[in-house]
Chains A and B, each alone.
Chain A
Amino acid sequence: MSTTRVEHTRRSMAKRDPVLFGTLVAIWIIFAIFIFLPIIKLLSTTFVVDGSISFTNLIKIMGKSYNIRALYNSLILATAVAVTGTVLGYIFALAVTRTSLPPFFKGLLAAVTILPLISPPFTSSISLTLALGPNGMLLRALGITDFSIYGFIGTWISETLTYFPVAFMVITAVLNTMSANLDDAALSLGSSRWRMFRTITIPLSLPGIGNSILLLFGASLADFATPLILGGHTFPVLPTEAYLMITGMFDLKGGASLSFLLLIPALLVFILQRVLIGKKSYVSVTGKNGAKSAFGKLPHLLTAIISAVCAITVVFILYLYAIILWGSLVKVWGVNNTVTLQHFKYVFAHGKKAITDTLLIAVLSTVIGSILGVVIGYIAQRKNFFGKRFFEFGSMLNYALPGTVVGIAYIIAFNQKPILLTGTLAILVAAYVFRYYATGIRSVIASLAQIDPALEEASLSLGANSLRTFTHVTIPLIIPAVLAGMRYLFIHSMTAISATIFLVSVRWTLLTTRILESMTELQFSQASAFSIVLIIIVFVVDAIMLALMKWSTRKFTQQESISYEKIGA
């Protein structure tokens, strides 16, 4: 219920609703430790010098042209990726929603855009290196010798390929909610197809485009792995600089100050997105999307261009994935093309710990994250209490911050007593949980918003207590939303690296860090084999969860599939 009861503001919450009170206290403590403490430590490391507030650290950092260039590069890269990713995503969205291309082709487009979403974020960097890097396959095929993938161009292409599916999903959702009748109306009024496209389709898709630009800008700004692999020394960006400063020079203050520079634009983008788009940064993907797309109503020339761009992109992406597979099977990339399984043997022999560690961490993060997500989402949607706004903001903070910032904040906060967690499993799990449970929270909120509170009241009035009501009525009805949140948590706990790269240790290591190591040691085949294993694990588990989600939607809500899928990095 949206309004507070008058008398309840007067009565103490501890007495009125002891369960809620206890839960809130527990969650506030958890937030204090894993969300507020790290960020406060980060800020104090940056701004407190000898016990007083000072800007010297920041000034020192800003004084180095190298760092200014990193800031500049980060912003330029993020802008470029936001623009190209959105354009490419828009083209894909138009192809799926506004053309009469064959359903098979549309299905292929949708399937191919899923690949980057479930792959580790640096997959395309690896395959681009294999294709266009030293000994690059495509380079040799084309006979080009004087080309370097390292630098702005490579990073830009790679991030565009990684993030355009986000744009595709956001914009498709907007185009789908837009009534096709509007197009019909415009055409029947004698408008030309070009005019219709200019005056109806584009203006009405602006919200989707705006959201997409913000999301991609933020994703690129925070991306760490791609510039690490492809940026090289010629193209430093803030996350990689901060990483090198901490792991290379052990300069925590410098790293903290750099992450502060990164934090400002990231928070701005997050706030802007919230203000502009409101709370709808998720889309509800209904199974009906494909069915609605009517006839080709775009100008013929545009349809041709769109089809061509989509076809080329799809072929290129498939080529990139094929190249990784090929890379994992040859003896020495670019030198000895004998097919061998030795790299996979290596992965399962020497990478076994990484595989089991990664799986354990991902499973733990998924389970803990979704439980927290359900509880927080439920409280946020159904309860009223003092400080609710701040509660919601706090729960999302780590998600809004770039992973690098969170990683650095975590090592600063947890490398000394009383909370000494560096090197433990707990710190890795916490990093993933509080960064990636946000989707779960949002889908739970969205799902609860659609469930009539009368169902819960009915249960109570039939004598069930609130716990039984929660487990027997509420939970079954939001299971699809919970599973959607679990999918997102699992995928990212398996593949994300920007925060956890700071937190891995000899005791706990991750597949993603093994891949990065292999890449920096130029062991391309090994990196490819690791990637293939990782992608297959993620793909299989994700497929199972997707199937569960569809099944549970039908089973528990007795409805056709409705699911909430978080889109975005």
Chain B
Amino acid sequence: MKKLALDLNDVTKTFQKDDGYITAVDKVSLQVEEGEMVTFLGPSGCGKTTTLRMVAGFELPTSGSITIRGSDMTNTPVNKRKIGFVFQNYALFPHMSVYNNVAYGLKARGEKDKDIRDKVRDALVMVGLVDTENRYPSQLSGGEQQRVALARVIVMEPNLLLMDEPLSNLDAKLRIHMRTEIRRLQKKLGITCLYVTHDQSEALSMADRIVVMNKGKVEQVGTAFEIYSNPQSLFVADFIGQANIIHLKVTSLAEDVIGVQTHNGGVFSARCIIPDHIDSSVESYEVGKDAALVIRPESLTVIPYKGGEETFNAVVSSSVFVGSHVEYELTLPNNEMIKAFIPYTNNMQIFKEEEQVSFMIDPVNALFLPRKKNKP
């Protein structure tokens, strides 16, 4: 059997706060293959950094275990884990030149001067930095500092490359450029990488797999496509891309298909996600109760008002032509608001505000999710 690069098993971290405890990471389990790039995505404070810091060894888990390349490292000190960590603010040593920054780990490891020189030079070339060896971090631009930080860890050939929002201090253009560079480098070196970000396009574009986290828990793990097309929870649906959530009355329940009534008396059926574990925060589906239908704005079809059974009704509350598509905001009879993005075609009809319209949902692109329980 192939050894996993990383195996997290029910990893939990509880911090003591002024008045009580806070569970920053709650039973996170994850298996990462060699050479895989996994991004951690979630809102601020959801526990991404803490998870990464536990993998690094900066924090010790309150419970659970961490296995790196087959050896249990749950309580191993940082400096024995052979990981590379790229910090949000780079954490370059301000009192050392670029050369000494990159050579730092090799020197600590006691390598020969000549080997160090070669490796440092190679690493700097690899990240696209030449002729900067004698400069100090304060004399470099943000992008260059980022590259030094990268060179400093890849020169060590770590078992795991851990990055905590490494691009968040760069301007937008450079950020997008560095994404591809990091990904290229990661693939070239075949290095296993965990990458934390709160920027979803970053997470989606760089990763083999994405871990979506919320409130310390893993909401879903999957490829960008899986997560986008098959969100397993309302949170994921709402957090990744844009999603409309429409509450509709359930009329029939089959194994994994739910039927609801359209506004005009017809029946609309689509797949539903059944919570795979007993999740106390959601309600179960019941005939007569509402279910949440998730549909992406680009999967709606808006047509002139008509009373067909298969259609839903709405009033246009805003209509904006943005070139590639038209963005509508529609108000449903129950006052819920949804968005619809209709791609531009030469002969398309553009509806105006206040206009009565109908819309249709392609069941293939729609999904029912269990409703969140109302907080008592």
Contact = CB atoms under 8 A, between A and B. Distances in A.
Contacts of A6: 14-16, 21, 62
A477 B95 contact: yes
Contacts of B21: 6
A476 B109 CA distance: 20
A408 B57 CA distance: 50
Contact of B108 (A5, A452, A463, A476): A463
Contact of A557 (B95, B104, B156): B95
Interface string A540-559: 00000000000000011111
Contacts of A473: 93
A194 B84 CA distance: 62
A462 interface: yes
Interface string B10-49: 0000111100010000000000000000000000000000
A558 B153 CA distance: 23
A556 B16 CA distance: 36
A48 interface: no
A5 B22 CA distance: 11
B367 interface: no
A283 interface: no
Interface string B73-99: 000011101111101010111110000
Contact of B137 (A452, A459, A555, A558): A558
B152 interface: yes
A5 B17 CA distance: 10
Contacts of A557: 94-95
B138 interface: yes
Interface residues of B, number: 36
A455 interface: yes
Contact of A465 (B17, B79, B84): B79
A472 B107 CA distance: 11
Interface string A448-461: 00001011011111
Contacts of B85: 457-458, 461
Contacts of A455: 91, 93-94
Nearest to B149: A458
A40 interface: no
Nearest to A466: B79
A464 B79 CA distance: 6
B344 interface: no
Contacts, number: 94
Interface in A422-469: 452, 454-455, 457-466, 468
A459 B77 CA distance: 12
Given A6-B15, A452-B89, A462 B104 contact: yes
A463 B137 contact: no
Contact of A463 (B87, B94, B95, B156): B156
Contact of A462 (B62, B105, B137): B105
A459 B152 CA distance: 10
Contact of A4 (B16, B79, B153): B16
Q: How many residues of A sit at the interface, in one of the four size bands? A: 20 to 34
Contacts of A521: none
A83 to B, nearest CB: 41
A468 B78 CA distance: 13
A461 B84 contact: yes
B60 A7 contact: yes
A181 interface: no
B62 A463 contact: no
Contacts of B62: 5-7
B93 A3 contact: no
Nearest to B110: A463
Nearest to A7: B62
Nearest to A465: B79
B226 to A, nearest CB: 32
A364 to B, nearest CB: 29
A456 to B, nearest CB: 9
A211 B137 CA distance: 39
Contact of B95 (A8, A464, A466, A555): A555
Interface in A464-519: 464-466, 468, 472-473, 476-477
B225 interface: no
A4 B56 CA distance: 19
Interface in B200-215: none
Given A464-B104, A464-B108, A458 B91 contact: yes
A454 B89 contact: yes
Contacts of B84: 461-462
B321 interface: no
Interface string B128-172: 000000001110000000000000110010000000000000000
Contacts of B79: 460-466
A342 to B, nearest CB: 51
Nearest to A451: B94
A464 B94 contact: no
A245 B336 CA distance: 90
A556 B57 CA distance: 28
B165 to A, nearest CB: 12
B156 to A, nearest CB: 6
Interface of B: 14-17, 21, 56-60, 62, 77-79, 81-85, 87, 89, 91-95, 104-105, 108-109, 136-138, 152-153, 156
Interface of A: 3-8, 452, 454-455, 457-466, 468, 472-473, 476-477, 555-559
13 contacts: A4-B16, A5-B62, A452-B89, A455-B91, A457-B87, A458-B87, A458-B152, A460-B79, A462-B108, A464-B105, A464-B108, A465-B79, A559-B138
3 pairs of A and B residues whose beta carbons are closest in the complex: A462-B105, A454-B91, A464-B108
Given A8-B60, A464-B105, 10 more contacts: A3-B16, A5-B15, A457-B85, A457-B87, A458-B152, A459-B93, A460-B78, A460-B79, A463-B109, A464-B79
